[in-house]
Amino acid sequence: MRGLLIALAAATLTFTAAPAHAAEPPRTGFEQTGKWTTQDEEQAYLKALGLPVTQIGTTAQGRPVQLVRVGPKARTVVLFICSQHGDEPSGREACLIAMRDLPRRAGVTYLFVPNANPDGRVANTRGNSAGIDINRDHLQLQTAEARAMAAVIRDWQPDVIHDLHEFGPSAPYYVKDVLWLWPRNLNAQQDVHDLSESLSRSYVKPAVEAAGRTSGVYGIYVDPVTGEPVRQVAGDHQERILRNTAALKHSTGLLLETNVTGTPRKRVYSHLIAVDGTLKFVGEKRSLIERANALSRAVRSGPVYFGGADNQPPSPGQVDANPPCGYVLTAAQFTQIGDELALHGISSQYLRGGDRIVPLKQEARALIPLLLDARADGELVAARPVARC
Would you call 284 a catalytic residue per the annotation?
Answer: no
Write out the DSSP string of 244-308.
Answer: HHHHHTT-EEEEEEEETTS-HHHHHHHHHHHHHHHHHHHHHHHHHHHHHHHHHHS---S-EESS-
Write out the DSSP string of 25-80.
Answer: PP--HHHHHSSPPPHHHHHHHHHHHT--EEEEEE-TTSPEEEEEEES---SEEEEE
The active-site residue, picked from 257, 290, 363, 379, is 257
Sequence-ordered list of residues with C-beta below 8 angstroms from that of 160, at least 6 positions apart, any chain: 77, 78, 79, 199, 251, 252, 253, 278, 281, 282, 289
Backbone angles phi, psi at 321, to 5 degrees: -75, -20
Select from 325, 304, 334 the least CA-distant residue to 386: 325
* Residues identified as active-site: 257
